[in-house]
Amino acid sequence: PCNLTGWWENDLGSKMQVFKVGNDGTFSGEYHTAVSSAKKPIQASPLIGSQHLDEDGQCTFGFTVNWKKFSDSTAVFVGQCFNGDDGKEVLQTSWLLREKVDSEPDDWKATR
């Protein structure tokens, strides 16, 4: 079965640490992004999420990252864990990033 606990790294060099997955699938951790358009220095950011615990181990999951330490944005990630042919676990994810904008007419450009 897929175990999200531990360190994960993506293709851009960002890292995520999941501290522990509870019996109900909830988890928390930190996200260490390697990319940012913020003017402040990047800092580790808290994440909180939930994992669907499937018997086949290829679970789906989702988590939110609050970039509050250096940015006014929030990101959500959804994904699935796969057990590769080489025995290594791989996370495939999609994400949305919501940046703060100054007015409602600017809402169109706030989500990537």
Distance CA 69, CA 45 (A): 7
In this structure, the number of other CB atoms found within 10 A of the CB of residue 47 comes to 20
Check: pTM over 0.85? Answer yes or no. Answer: yes
In this structure, the number of other CB atoms found within 10 A of the CB of residue 23 comes to 6
**Architecture per CATH, 6-34+43-103:** Beta Barrel (2.40)
Q: What is the pLDDT along the chain (112 residues), one digit of tens a residue?
A: 688 999 999 999 999 999 999 999 999 999 999 888 878 888 899 999 999 987 776 789 999 999 988 888 999 999 999 887 888 889 999 999 999 999 999 999 999 9
Residue pair 34/5 in contact by the 8 Å Cβ criterion:
no
Residue pair 33/46 in contact by the 8 Å Cβ criterion:
no
Residue pair 27/4 in contact by the 8 Å Cβ criterion:
yes
**How do the domains of the chain map onto residue ranges?**
6-34+43-103
